[in-house]
Amino acid sequence: MTTADASIGAATMEPDGTIVLTLRAQGPGGMRGDGLLRYPPSHPQYQVVLAHLGGLSPGESKPVRPFT
């Protein structure tokens, strides 16, 4: 797996269809940042995120590849 293909976190879909992204970023000098993003089905970017993940079903989890 190349760096560009590496996972930056995990995505899970809740029973109501909400996508939850748990993400981590790393930078020079050991810097780290964690984020939790929630995308309910009504969110304007919901379909973009779902397509980036390659689809997701309620209860399913999968790695998140970097957004480009």
Report the half-sphere exposure of 50 (CA within 13 A, side-chain side): 19
Q: Which phi and psi (to 5°) does residue 28 adopt?
A: -60, 150
Q: Would you give the end-to-end CA distance of the chain in angstroms?
A: 17
pLDDT at 44: 98
Residue 1 pLDDT greater than 50, yes or no: no
Give the separation between CA 36 and CA 28, rounded to whole angstroms. Answer: 22
Q: Which residue bears the tokens 């797996």?
A: 1
pTM metric for this prediction: 0.84
pLDDT at 26: 86
